[in-house]
């Protein structure tokens, strides 16, 4: 099979990947973009999006990603519905391999492989995804104004999500496995002072129920102990806040990653530890994880890649 040669390979899609492709195509870099396991990224699993500029009436995640994709195609990006399975960043040009065994030889690379929220592993989470189950309070909290929601988790992220939702929802339950919050002292105090947040300590979620969406959660308190207790709590929304896992496994040993697996970039640029390789979107962002910030870093990565290629006399 003949090698595919390109000035710029974009690994991953979503807001970061497609935006990088738009900018790179307009710069005549003729990028090749591999869409990955989930073409369009996490947003394709989201229902309505109302916080992305340019969509005053809101839009569906799948439709917005289709808009991004079509715009990148319009400017000449080559989009491959495939997965990059191996990378070798030890020297330029970089050599990558896809799931069909084809080698892609690239003068520069932008990694946009995203991240995925950690779930409890319940069948009901998949059943009600987009119908009351969410892993992003900032994205979906608005839909639960004056409603009752639950947040699973006991760390700083869970407390932040609960506090954010408490300004919208009428009631917020925090479902915490342990008998204490793992969050910082400041976050604990803020949560405990909020009248509409109730913490359910030593509780595990065992299921969700509802006809056309989430109507309640089934919990067990003191699991495995003599005073084990099963009970239901009516809710309208169920938010996961137990962390995210960046999709960066294939870059271990190739790029510098932090303790959680996020790609480390050289601020204020998107440059990684390997000259010519850049990272954008959630795979390099453990903090914001928003569509608009991912799109912004996709733009920056394309501009960084263009400058790198000019300086390297590859353009």
User: 112, 136, 203, 283: which one is catalytic?
Assistant: 136
User: 124, 140, 282, 285: which one is catalytic?
Assistant: 140
User: 96, 112, 124, 139: which one is catalytic?
Assistant: 139
Cα dihedral across residues 122, 13, 96, 284: positive or negative: negative
- By CB atoms closer than 10 A (0-12, 13-18, 19+), residue 127 is middle
- Cα→Cα distances 67→14, 55, 74, 279, 301, Å: 11, 11, 11, 22, 20
- Cα→Cα distances 230→197, 205, 219, Å: 21, 10, 6
140 annotated active-site? yes
112 annotated active-site? no
Q: How is the beta sheet containing 171-175 ordered, strand by strand?
A: 133-134, 237-240, 148-152, 171-175, 197-200
136 annotated active-site? yes
* Dist. CA 93–CA 95, nearest whole Å: 6
Catalytic residue ranges = 136, 139-140
């Amino acid at each position: 099979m003949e090698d595919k040669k390109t000035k710029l390979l974009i690994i991953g899609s979503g807001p970061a990947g497609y935006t990088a492709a738009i900018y790179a195509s307009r710069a005549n870099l003729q990028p090749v973009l591999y869409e990955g396991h989930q073409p369009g990224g996490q947003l394709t699993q989201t229902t309505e999006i109302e916080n992305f500029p340019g969509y005053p009436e809101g839009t569906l995640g799948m439709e917005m990603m289709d808009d991004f994709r079509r715009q990148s195609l319009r400017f000449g990006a080559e989009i491959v519905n495939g997965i990059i399975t191996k990378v070798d960043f030890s020297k330029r040009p970089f050599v990558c391999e896809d799931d069909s065994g084809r080698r892609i030889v690239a003068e520069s690379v932008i990694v946009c492989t995203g991240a995925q929220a950690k779930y409890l592993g319940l069948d009901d989470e998949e059943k009600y995804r987009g119908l009351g189950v969410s892993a992003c309070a900032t994205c979906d909290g608005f839909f639960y104004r004056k409603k009752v929601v639950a947040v699973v988790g006991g760390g700083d992220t869970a407390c932040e999500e609960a506090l954010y939702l408490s300004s919208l929802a009428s009631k917020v339950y925090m479902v915490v496995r342990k008998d204490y919050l793992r969050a910082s002292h400041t976050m604990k105090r803020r949560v405990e002072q909020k009248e509409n947040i109730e913490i359910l300590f030593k509780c595990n979620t065992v299921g969700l129920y509802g006809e056309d969406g989430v109507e309640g959660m089934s919990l067990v308190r003191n699991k495995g102990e003599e005073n084990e207790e099963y009970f239901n709590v009516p809710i309208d929304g169920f938010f996961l806040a137990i962390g995210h896992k960046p999709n960066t496994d294939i870059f271990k040993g190739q790029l510098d990653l932090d303790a959680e697996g996020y790609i480390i970039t050289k601020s204020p640029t998107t440059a990684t530890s390997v000259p010519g390789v850049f990272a954008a979107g959630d795979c390099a962002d453990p903090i914001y994880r928003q569509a608009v910030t991912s799109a912004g870093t996709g733009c920056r990565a394309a501009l960084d890649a263009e400058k790198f290629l000019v300086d390297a006399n590859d353009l």
